[in-house]
Amino acid sequence: MIVGIGAAAGALGMWAAGGTWQDIQHLGQPRNVMIVDGESVRVPVTVSDGERLAPEVAVSTSGAHTFLFEENGEPTRYDPCVAHAWVYNPEGMPEGADGLVAEAFDNIAQYTGLVFSHEGNVDEPADFDRPLIQEEYGDRFAPILVGWSDEATTPGLEGTTAGLGGSSSVTGAFGQERFLAAGVVILDSEDFTNVLATDGGRDRAASIIRHEIAHVVGLGHVEDESEVMHTQNLAAVTWGPGDRQGLAIAGAGPCQ
């Protein structure tokens, strides 16, 4: 839950309380906090110069696409003016999956105009119940986490579901505009082992990972089977016109 807190009386008081230059720039505007385990935690400040890090991707196609979060008719998106860190837990990675996750992030960056930064491997398990702010990652929202699991550990992977993905919708440090943060992708080791063993399996596996990272950047499912974001992702291994339109919109959000 996000609630507001009162601003400090002046710059000196702010610095004494651990404030930042962004706090001073927003003097008189309340700094948002999150309630984490029953305690108030200040929403981390995003530091940028207010300019995109990569050019906006023009919307050049039209087709079926949806968004997981919307506010006032606009999708909730990642900030395009900062690099978004991602980390990887390789435990349980099936043979033949090397490089697929990094390739998928490069592909998503190309179609969204968002910038992603790989910060290495971690031992944090991929779980949607992870804390959004964690001491080991510093004073920021936790980076996007990609990891492997199985049906016994992650019931959502039961049946033919080979992966899950999504992000949290949070307010920025100031104001009420919402942004995406702390994404998670959970991949099914057994399903990927089976997929990778088939003809064309690496392309199919890559498509599944891109599908889940597209959920991370805010895209939802569609009913058009020609789109990678189809509910079951049955056949498509390259982005369809609706996918591309949705990804371009997902990357065209506001700066914090």
Q: Which of 199, 177, 189, 192 is nearest to 149 (CA)?
A: 189
Find, among 246, 190, 189, the residue nearest to 213 by Cα: 246
Which DSSP string corresponds to 111-171?
Answer: HH--EEEEEEE------TTS-SS-GGG-SSPPPEEEEEE-TTT-GGG-TT--EEEEEEEEE
For 169-219, write each residue's pLDDT tens digit. 998 767 788 999 999 999 999 999 999 999 999 999 999 999 999 999 999
Please tell me the distance from the alpha carbon of residue 186 to that of residue 128, in angstroms, as a whole number. 9
CATH number of 70-250: 3.40.390.10
Q: What is the pLDDT of residue 197?
A: 97
Q: What residues does each domain of the chain span?
A: 2-42, 70-250
Query: How many angstroms separate the CA atoms of 189 and 97, rounded?
Result: 10
Write down the pTM of the prediction: 0.87
Predicted pLDDT at 24: 47
Per-residue pLDDT tens, the chain, 256 aa: give them: 222 222 222 333 333 344 544 554 555 567 777 776 677 778 888 888 889 999 999 999 999 999 999 988 999 999 999 999 999 999 999 999 999 999 999 999 999 999 999 999 999 999 999 999 999 999 899 999 999 999 999 999 999 999 999 999 998 767 788 999 999 999 999 999 999 999 999 999 999 999 999 999 999 999 999 999 999 876 789 999 999 999 999 999 999 8
What six digits make up the tokens of 207? 């498509």
pLDDT of residue 25: 55
Strand duo 83-89 + 115-121: pairing: parallel
pLDDT at 94: 98
The whole-number pLDDT of residue 11 equals 30
Which amino acid, one-letter code, is at 249?
I
